[in-house]
Amino acid sequence: MGIFLDWARSASRALHRSLGSARDRRTMLTALLGIASLVLGAAPVLPEEEPAADPGHRVLETVSLQGGAVLVTRAEVGTLSYSDCASGTTCIWTASLYGGTLFQFNQPGAVIGLPAVPIGSYANKRSKRSTFYETAGGGGRSVCAGPWTRNQAVGGWLAGARSLVQNATATSC
């Protein structure tokens, strides 16, 4: 773990020198925190969103998890939508109406720990069902999202769901 922390400090210093804007540094810090949390087995801690100067434009930040790999991308976009979720994945957004930070998952058959962020909306763009669970490890109450379903305004306990299972074979809920 010491080698990883040394690498993270070195990368942070290099990025601070090479990335001019605070937004670029913040994006890279988010990526480093996400990678560190997965390596150390903790839930990712994401920095708070800074208000956009122009309310007509928002920043899309995507954290994709596939087979243990983490990819964080950030881009200026006009309006976020359901179409930002890639086909074959289950997605959650931290705000309703598919806004905020987008997380995409593609790990059929695995119990996926969800990030410790509120779920404002979700989409299951898979041909198989996905099930959200109240607690880590697939326990507690559950909500089944059938193939190609979505919810633009999540409420109740589901907004705090902590695990997801993408079924590898079953399609109906």
Across the range 52-57, mean pLDDT stands at 39
Following DSSP, what letter does each residue of 110-160 receive, concatenated?
SEEEPPSS---EEEE-SSS-EEEEEETTTEEEEEEE-TTEEESS--GGGGG
Q: Is the pLDDT of residue 142 over 90?
A: yes
d(C-alpha 25, C-alpha 17), whole Å: 9
| Whether 72 contacts 32, CB under 8 Å | no
* Separation between Cα atoms, residue 106 and residue 86, nearest integer Å: 10
Res 101: pLDDT: 86
Q: Tokens 């058959």 belong to which residue?
A: 109
Task: Report pTM.
Answer: 0.59
Angle at 58 between CA 98 and CA 19, to 5 degrees: 125
Q: Are 60 and 75 in contact (CB under 8 A)?
A: yes
The ranges assigned to domains in the chain are 1-42, 60-173
Pairing of strands 111-113, 163-166: antiparallel
Give the model confidence (pLDDT) of 5-42 as tens digits: 455 555 555 545 555 555 555 555 555 555 554 444 44
User: What pLDDT was estimated at residue 32?
Assistant: 54
pLDDT tens column, 66-123: 666 666 655 544 456 788 899 999 999 999 999 888 899 999 999 999 999 999 999 9
Query: pLDDT category, 159, cuts 50, 70, 90?
Result: very high
**Was domain 60-173 assigned CATH 1.10.10.10?**
no
